[in-house]
Amino acid sequence: MTPLFDRDSLPRDHMRSLHLRGRRFPAMTNKRKRTPKQTPPTPPTPQTLDRHSLNRSKARAWAWAWAPLKLTRDELSLPLTFPTGQTFRWKNTAPLQYTGVVGPHLISLKHLQNGDVSYCLHSHTDPDHAHSALLDFLNAAVSLPDLWTTFSASDARFAELARHLSGARVLRQDPFECLIQFLCSSNNNISRITNMVNYVSSLGTHVGDVSGFHFHAFPSLQQLSSVSDQQLRDAGFGYRAKYIIGTVNALQSKPGGGEQWLRSLRNLDLQDVISALSTLPGVGPKVAACIALFSLDQHHAVPVDTHVWRIATKYLLPELAGSKLTPKLCERVAEAFVTKYGKYAGWAQTLLFIAELPSQKALLPSHLSTIKHVKQRNAAKLEDTEEEIG
């Protein structure tokens, strides 16, 4: 029988359609693969969205924006607090702005036009903890205007100085950080101290850069223990290298850890604090008093150097004028300050010390200067020199 049509004569597309009609699907070669069914992600709840949104907004607001610190210039003057010898780790990063590290937090402080202080958190750390740590570091619980009023009532010269130098605040630094900085200060000048402190700081964790300055968290006792005497000498520390290495070794042997031991000194009387600190290599009476005042809550500690000695012999102990400063006389000077200014004598001494710095003398009326007609070269030397007594 002759077929109704010749399969070979049909167009190829026509033949494909006949196969489809006959359900000859197994003969198809370009079979489409099925996409496995995917389970859609669980949508976030409104509570989750609100929490994440709040955390991101809060982090952005605190980490990159300026916020009021609620301290006036009378409570905190940045130029009278940071570059005046208490700490060497804060940098002048803009006009009336200083930047430093408190624990793991990189923070800038600046004065607004009305004198109030605002701050900016640069690091991605907890903003609430950073704010609390900053206030603690600044000793914000102490009312500076109240102290100045008390001191001024019994000292007319202090009252006049305070009008020109208000806001000179005593810091509450980490004790280990403060100790290492003042080991660097022994018989040294501000420029070299700063370079040494910068080197030690660079051994800690880098936390960020501001205005071209590199900032690090201060190295822990464990981190500093890996540094050798030779490394410090190569970095320009000289004989101070052995003091730092010796102190680090001594702290490592303390029960419970050296950093905890240092913090525990906040609970002791001043004389016990001075005695304990003086067991560490390189720590004499003046360095011990600085550490006690600037980190260990010993508000009546009075570091005595040539500046303070001149103040004391002119205003508190004139009978000692012309005498050579000795450790015994240092104790007598400190006692005279406490008798005059009470349990916050160290804060009073800090303002009187700042008034003697050449950078501040230029801002004061001439009659308030302890030593008049000092040549500029000698004035610069006074500002840069740090003597260690004992």
Which residues are designated catalytic?
Answer: 286
CA distance 137 to 152: 26
Residue 275 near residue 291 (C-beta atoms within 8 A) = no
Report which of 343, 138, 179 is spatially closest to residue 263, judged by C-alpha positions. Answer: 179
Residue 314 near residue 370 (C-beta atoms within 8 A) = yes
**H helices then E strands: how many in the chain?**
19, 7
Report which of 77, 91, 71 is spatially closest to residue 355, judged by C-alpha positions. Answer: 77
CA distance 194 to 197: 5
Helix axis angle for 376-384 and 190-201, nearest 10°, is: 30
CA distance 206 to 227: 17
Report which of 74, 123, 66 is spatially closest to residue 97, judged by C-alpha positions. Answer: 66
